[in-house]
Chains A and B, each alone.
Chain A
Amino acid sequence: MNAVVGKIVGVDVGGTFTDLFYYDEDAARFRTAKVPSNRGDEAIGFLEGLKTFGPLAQLGSIVHGTTVGTNALLERKGARIGLITTRGFRDVLEMRRRDRRNTWGLWGDFVPVVDRDLRLEVGERTMADGTIREEINSDEVKEIARTLLARGAEALAMVFINAYANPANELKALAAAREVWPNENIECSAQILPEIREFERTSTTALNAYLQPVVGSYLGKLNQALAQEKFSGKFHIVQSNGGVMSTATARRLPVRTALSGPAAGVIASAAIAKAAGFPDVITGDLGGTSFDVSIVVDGETALAAQTTIDFGLVIRTPMIEITTIGAGGGSIAHVDAGGLLQVGPESAGSRPGPVAYGQGNTRPTLTDANVVLGRINAERPIGGKLARLDVEAAKAAIAKHVAEPLGLDAMQAAEAIVRVANGKMAGAIRLVSIERGHDPGRFAAVPFGGGGALHVGALIKDVGLKAALVPRYPGVTSALGCVIADIRHDQVQTVNLLLDQLDDAALDQRMVEEAEASRAVVEEAGLSVERIDILFELDMHYVGQTHTVSVPLPVSLQNGTTGTTAFIVREAFERAYQASFSRLLPGVPAKIVNLRTAAVGRRPHFDLSALAPEASASLETARLGGRPVWFDGDWHDTAIYARLDLPVGAVVHGPAILEQPDATTVIDPDLVARVDDFGNIIVERAI
């Protein structure tokens, strides 16, 4: 494998800013940069940021966490696409799984990403056992493809019923359509997701096509711009599973970039925390409208098999499991008709934003409460766009909308808003930890992004977490994640095998084939790796169940075999089943539904101590003074520090506030903070 010399840049393009993290592997030195994003033409900010590190020709590789796919999905700005299905099934995409938006309330409709006149049917039929009842006619496929082209389709997706069991008709149709299709934006479901369940497969395949032209043209533009600047290294994209893929793979499978940006942040948080001695963490990204939580156990991120981007928009491909709740800095606080204080889900977002921003909103938000309590410095707002925050306006809004209806004074009300928001965040953390059988006492919270560090104290106390770890540069965590993320490729295949009748050799053969195919994708990516691990997981259940449990197999590929046997599979299944449910069902036969294979190219070790503070830093020079801050029903004189100037080993007792350009860390009176060897802030209970 050709090792690319190590000057690598991670680029995280966000809605407002593009963050970059430059790392020289040989010199073990890093730099960061922050430039404004240019919405609509992200290449401008992207290049500007890169140039701050010198000529692009010197760079070995660039790894990019992108939200272009995410935004196209959320804003419904994907391409006009055509869909060809088995006769009788063109409406599957629109019929969904016959669900509705909300449990309670019947209003609202659904517009699929492909209009009905661009969904056409072809005569063909594959049965559930893989036999073909009706062969496909290539001429009919070509004719339909031409019709879709004439109707303006820029990409084409094909999904046939039961193609997971036998892809022959789909592959034949794909070959035929390619003959008349003018571009590379054409895929069939068996090559995207050969897994049972036609709606989920159709949705994933259609959304892939929906993103292909958008992501393709975005990456094309970036490639071109990089070439003009004489960049000759490798350009990679972070996937939703937290691994890195080549831009060629990203153009073929853009649906795998849906959570590219957030995934990079989780990866970096996991790595930072593990190096700091916290292998079990819960990451939290507090934005303007939401709080995104993810769990990391023993240094490994949790992957969800399926994610719903919005009602009816389902993507089934492994993604870092991110639980989102509607509580962010812009979440509006109000007292409902039953007299209960609520924070969110309605949000003032970043525009008009909190009352304190003075941009027209008059209803109090979580940020307003933090401002009124003195936790956020009104004189030096984060982001640097506003000169100062309007504390009095925020206080008046809280008095009117929360304090009066509850019979509290404004300060009590502001504290109540923070407590309710903390309660919601704690709930989200419980959801991903306790409720999945993890003891929170083992976990540390890792807030990244700007807002989370304001609330770490409550998370430690409400959920019973061991500690909180605030990375040295919370704002560039995602860009750092791009640099350290492994290369990864996931594959799935529905197999439907009864465990009692398992042919060990045949399963092994299948696993070897899947392993080799996924390993090849990782090798082609061309980034330097220390080794490639192959991970196998089975989706299994008792015959009669429809849901499955994930069963990681304790085997590895050696000398052309995995050594898998029915005995190994049964032991692994029973262990996984018992971990999920209290009762095994002896006597009921078990079945392997899907085989999941992942190839992971492990990147060379990244020495995070490169991030540590200079030896010259001292507690005295870091001290900025003090101000009164409201904790537990009263004002407290609170020390304020410049966070980045704190030296390794510094210990700061609460109450204290640690400020830095892109984040504020609040240390409650009963907590203590210390700076570890990497420059992270570790917050724990005072003993």
Chain B
Amino acid sequence: MSPIDPVTLAVLKGRLEQIADEMDATLYRSAFNPIIAEARDACHGLYHPVTGATLVQGTNGLPIFVGAMAFAVKAVIDKVEREGGLEPGDTFLFNDPYDGGTHLNDFRLVRPIFREGKLYCWLASVGHWLDIGGNVPGGFNAQATESFQEGVRFPPVRFIRAGVMNEDILAILSANARVPVSNFGDLNGQLNALDLGERRLTELLDEYGDAVVATAFDAFSDRAEAMMRAAVSALPDGIYPFEDYLDNDGITDQRLTIALDLTVSGDSMVLDFSRSSAPCAGPLNIAYSTAVACCYVALKHVFTDVPANAGCLRPITFVIPSTTLLGAKAPKPVGGYTETILRVIGVVFGALAKADPSRATAGPFGTINALSLAGHRADGSRWVMFSFFGGGLGGNPESDGLNHANNPISTATIPPAEILEAAYPVMFTQWALRPDSAGAGIHRGGVGAIYEIESLTDADVFLLGERGRFAPFGVAGGLPASLNQFFWQSDEGEQSPPMASKVANVKIRAGQRVRLESPGGGGWGNPLERDPQRVARDVRLGYVSAETAARDYGVVVTENGEVDESATIALRKGAAA
């Protein structure tokens, strides 16, 4: 028998995950800004004392953070190694995207846990704060060319020393944000989560003993590694290339390539992104650690059984040169990292679909659409409404894609229109599914959405989105979905952004509207093989127009929503030929 019996191991796994889950829940409930409270843009876990590797994650943490946290903890470990003086009761704070962070809005708190005078492990918390300065409210500056325009950067600093908070750092944070009370509330929520995690972990260690739990940590990682190796072994050996594109970097209207060469050999894989575009001038760069985190997210969506800890990455080698936009260094702007990571995840799906079509998922809608409206109320107070929007997921071997879902990098729910209308002077005039936005297939993609918003005061509009030029891809013969679209009303009529889905500082007047139309997901399988009755149902319910049914599916649907059998047979014959 192994040093720890399998039963205790299974029990400890549940107990430890519960600790991380409860830290998540505590922050969601006490956070101030809706991006954490409603959209759950946060994550908590336990990390290795020496390497920072992920030991335990919650089951609900924001997927992209789950992958990135180990790098964040490592950044703190490196600092402590350089400077020394780590004490029980310390807590570090930072948002440095180039040293274990993601983008400047994501604030990490990292706390050492000591046992009998020795560092035992780390607890960490990350959450997306509403605003941390920079020249666009909310931080999503589509036209940034340097990190300095995106907000204030904090390297890891000792925010709490031996239990005593450094009020000076609070003052600096407060002076550099548009809505300091929101950040203050979120910071307290994260501290609530760490306090609670520390308490629960201490109870657990007292009950089971430090050594037993440490042995369990090793066993979890070994197990994750074994499961990932088993999953990779099941794929045929070979090289699977896949490419996709970003519209532009917001500065120059030129596409950016994300290229992956995925090599499977035996029970290990190489993910090589060398053929991707060079770092760009605009905010679409990401750092190495973020790129690795994306791959982790993509693999975990495909191999769902593999546990969320560092062991599962052991069988994988990453090639992400700093000469590409996926290995960017300071001060290359990274504020739009949300878009790039979606494309990275997409190409992993695309390459795996080639290796094993039975696990294929067509491209999800693939854009965050970070939209801000900002203005001043009648009483002069400033308002900033900031939200991300949904779209369709890809068709897959099991089902049509899900309509109006969140992105694979998150489990974010969207704030209700009523909450937004109660908080900001806006009125939604449409909150609807978008017909004909999904890619056709045996299983079509999920449909995207239309959101139309009227501003009740004059307002500035900012959007950082993608998929305005390159649509979400289909797989196994499925067709691509529609493109992302954005419009705003002006005195000169309806306008749309010259950079497709990126725009900053557009002015609209009270009573004017903006409209966002998000893509659906790509299709799975040849649409000519979709059951005509299901196509007719889609037409009856308005997910697909009769024209699209004929063009993409070869199905003729009559005025009263029935399949015209003979016309359909003829059309499909012609299309197949």
Q: How far is the CA of A89 from the CA of B60 in the complex (A)?
A: 29
List the B side residues contacting A545 at CB < 8 Å: 30-32, 37, 185
Interface 9-mer from B133-141, B420-428, B457-465: B420-428
List the A side residues contacting B196 at CB < 8 Å: 582
Are A106 and B396 interface neighbours, CB within 8 A? yes
Q: Write the B173-194 contact mask toward A (1 if CB under 8 angstroms, else 0).
A: 0000000011011001101100
Q: How far is the CA of A237 from the CA of B240 in the complex (A)?
A: 61
Are A546 and B34 interface neighbours, CB within 8 A? yes
List the A side residues contacting B417 at CB < 8 Å: 89, 161, 198
Residues of chain B in range 280-336 having any CB-CB distance to chain A below 8 Å = 300-301, 304-305, 307-308
The answer to whether the Cβ of B166 comes within 8 Å of any Cβ in the partner chain is no
Interface 9-mer from A422-430, A516-524, A599-607, A649-657: A422-430
List the A side residues contacting B406 at CB < 8 Å: 98-100
Are A588 and B224 interface neighbours, CB within 8 A? no
Q: How far is the CA of A100 from the CA of B11 in the complex (A)?
A: 28
The answer to whether the Cβ of B279 comes within 8 Å of any Cβ in the partner chain is no
Residues of chain B in range 438-467 having any CB-CB distance to chain A below 8 Å = 446, 449, 452
Partner of A95, one of B184, B200, B307, B433: B433
Of the four ranges (under 10, 10 to 19, 20 to 34, 35 or more), the interface on chain A belongs to 35 or more
Q: How far is the CA of A94 from the CA of B392 in the complex (A)?
A: 12
Residues of chain A in range 95-123 having any CB-CB distance to chain B below 8 Å = 95-110, 115-117
Are B398 and A107 interface neighbours, CB within 8 A? yes
List the A side residues contacting B38 at CB < 8 Å: 97, 546
List the B side residues contacting A546 at CB < 8 Å: 34, 37-38, 415, 419
The answer to whether the Cβ of B22 comes within 8 Å of any Cβ in the partner chain is yes
Q: How far is the CA of A336 from the CA of B416 in the complex (A)?
A: 40
Contact A544 to B182, CB < 8 A, known contacts A103-B60, A340-B223 = yes
The answer to whether the Cβ of A4 comes within 8 Å of any Cβ in the partner chain is no
The answer to whether the Cβ of B154 comes within 8 Å of any Cβ in the partner chain is no
Most chain B beta-carbon contacts within 10 A, residue among A89, A104, A197, A416: A104
Interface residues of chain A: helix, strand, loop or mixed (majority) = loop
Partner of B413, one of A97, A426, A542, A581: A97
Shortest distance from the beta carbon of A530 to any chain B beta carbon, whole Å = 37
List the A side residues contacting B14 at CB < 8 Å: 423-424, 427
The answer to whether the Cβ of B382 comes within 8 Å of any Cβ in the partner chain is no
Partner of A338, one of B227, B428, B431: B227
Partner of A98, one of B405, B427, B541: B405
List the A side residues contacting B149 at CB < 8 Å: none
The answer to whether the Cβ of B209 comes within 8 Å of any Cβ in the partner chain is no
The answer to whether the Cβ of A435 comes within 8 Å of any Cβ in the partner chain is yes
Q: Write the B390-404 contact mask toward A (1 if CB under 8 angstroms, else 0).
A: 100110111111111
Contact A547 to B37, CB < 8 A, known contacts A100-B405, A338-B223, A420-B10 = yes
List the A side residues contacting B430 at CB < 8 Å: 88-89
Are A127 and B393 interface neighbours, CB within 8 A? no
Are A406 and B185 interface neighbours, CB within 8 A? no
Partner of A427, one of B15, B28, B400: B15
Partner of B6, one of A90, A198, A199, A406: A406
Shortest distance from the beta carbon of A429 to any chain B beta carbon, whole Å = 11
The answer to whether the Cβ of A25 comes within 8 Å of any Cβ in the partner chain is no
Are A103 and B63 interface neighbours, CB within 8 A? yes
Q: How far is the CA of A133 from the CA of B456 in the complex (A)?
A: 12
Are A196 and B418 interface neighbours, CB within 8 A? yes
Contact A109 to B301, CB < 8 A, known contacts A127-B427, A197-B419, A581-B192 = no
List the B side residues contacting A108 at CB < 8 Å: 398-399, 402
Most chain A beta-carbon contacts within 10 A, residue among B189, B417, B418, B446: B418
Contact A110 to B304, CB < 8 A, known contacts A339-B226, A582-B196 = no
Are B411 and A341 interface neighbours, CB within 8 A? no
Are A116 and B542 interface neighbours, CB within 8 A? yes
Contact A95 to B403, CB < 8 A, known contacts A162-B418, A547-B28 = yes
Are A419 and B7 interface neighbours, CB within 8 A? yes
Contact A164 to B418, CB < 8 A, known contacts A341-B6, A420-B10 = yes
The answer to whether the Cβ of B118 comes within 8 Å of any Cβ in the partner chain is no
Instruction: Tell me the total A-B contact number using a CB cutoff of 8 A.
Output: 219
Are B402 and A104 interface neighbours, CB within 8 A? no
Are A117 and B422 interface neighbours, CB within 8 A? no
The answer to whether the Cβ of A686 comes within 8 Å of any Cβ in the partner chain is no
Whose C-beta in chain A lies nearest to the C-beta of B362? A106
Q: How far is the CA of A74 from the CA of B7 in the complex (A)?
A: 33
Q: How far is the CA of A285 from the CA of B393 in the complex (A)?
A: 37
Residues of chain B in range 131-175 having any CB-CB distance to chain A below 8 Å = none
List the B side residues contacting A549 at CB < 8 Å: 29
The answer to whether the Cβ of A572 comes within 8 Å of any Cβ in the partner chain is no
Q: How far is the CA of A644 from the CA of B446 in the complex (A)?
A: 58
Are A94 and B404 interface neighbours, CB within 8 A? yes
The answer to whether the Cβ of A609 comes within 8 Å of any Cβ in the partner chain is no
Are A582 and B414 interface neighbours, CB within 8 A? no
List the A side residues contacting B10 at CB < 8 Å: 340-342, 420, 423
The answer to whether the Cβ of B532 comes within 8 Å of any Cβ in the partner chain is no
List the B side residues contacting A386 at CB < 8 Å: none
Are A336 and B305 interface neighbours, CB within 8 A? yes
Residues of chain A in range 326-363 having any CB-CB distance to chain B below 8 Å = 336-342
Partner of B422, one of A89, A99, A196, A407: A196
Q: How far is the CA of A479 from the CA of B222 in the complex (A)?
A: 50
Are B422 and A128 interface neighbours, CB within 8 A? yes
Shortest distance from the beta carbon of A436 to any chain B beta carbon, whole Å = 9
Contact A544 to B185, CB < 8 A, known contacts A88-B452, A94-B433, A110-B402 = yes
Residues of chain B in range 194-236 having any CB-CB distance to chain A below 8 Å = 195-196, 200, 223-224, 226-227, 230-231
Are B22 and A198 interface neighbours, CB within 8 A? no
The answer to whether the Cβ of A431 comes within 8 Å of any Cβ in the partner chain is yes
Are B418 and A547 interface neighbours, CB within 8 A? no
The answer to whether the Cβ of B59 comes within 8 Å of any Cβ in the partner chain is yes
Q: How far is the CA of A466 from the CA of B565 in the complex (A)?
A: 70
Partner of B399, one of A109, A125, A164, A196: A109
Are B422 and A90 interface neighbours, CB within 8 A? no
The answer to whether the Cβ of B563 comes within 8 Å of any Cβ in the partner chain is no
Are B18 and A337 interface neighbours, CB within 8 A? no
Are A104 and B428 interface neighbours, CB within 8 A? no
The answer to whether the Cβ of A137 comes within 8 Å of any Cβ in the partner chain is no
Q: How far is the CA of A97 from the CA of B39 in the complex (A)?
A: 10
Contact A196 to B223, CB < 8 A, known contacts A106-B361, A117-B542, A545-B31 = no
The answer to whether the Cβ of B432 comes within 8 Å of any Cβ in the partner chain is yes
Most chain A beta-carbon contacts within 10 A, residue among B7, B26, B196, B308: B7
Shortest distance from the beta carbon of B138 to any chain A beta carbon, whole Å = 15
Shortest distance from the beta carbon of A120 to any chain B beta carbon, whole Å = 12
Contact A583 to B191, CB < 8 A, known contacts A104-B301, A588-B181 = yes
Whose C-beta in chain B lies nearest to the C-beta of A118? B541
Whose C-beta in chain B lies nearest to the C-beta of A96? B404
Contact A585 to B6, CB < 8 A, known contacts A97-B414, A106-B408, A128-B422 = no
Are B18 and A115 interface neighbours, CB within 8 A? no
List the B side residues contacting A337 at CB < 8 Å: 226-227, 230-231, 305
List the B side residues contacting A223 at CB < 8 Å: none
The answer to whether the Cβ of B504 comes within 8 Å of any Cβ in the partner chain is no
Partner of B32, one of A103, A106, A542, A583: A542
List the B side residues contacting A197 at CB < 8 Å: 416, 418-419
Partner of A339, one of B200, B223, B421, B427: B223
Beyond the given pairs A91-B449, A100-B411, A117-B542, 13 more chain A to chain B contacts, judged by CB atoms under 8 angstroms and listed by A's residue number, are: A90-B432, A92-B431, A97-B414, A103-B63, A106-B401, A109-B446, A420-B7, A423-B7, A427-B15, A435-B22, A546-B419, A581-B189, A583-B188
A: residues with CB less than 8 A from B are 88-92, 94-110, 115-117, 125, 127-128, 133, 161-162, 164, 196-200, 336-342, 406-407, 416, 419-420, 423-424, 426-427, 430-431, 435, 462, 496, 542, 544-547, 549, 580-583, 585, 588
Q: Give 4 closest A-B pairs by Cβ, nearest first.
A: A338-B223, A98-B390, A97-B413, A423-B11
In the complex, 12 of the A-B residue pairs with CB atoms within 8 angstroms, ordered by the A residue number, are A98-B390, A98-B414, A100-B411, A106-B402, A109-B402, A116-B433, A128-B421, A198-B418, A338-B227, A496-B422, A544-B32, A583-B192
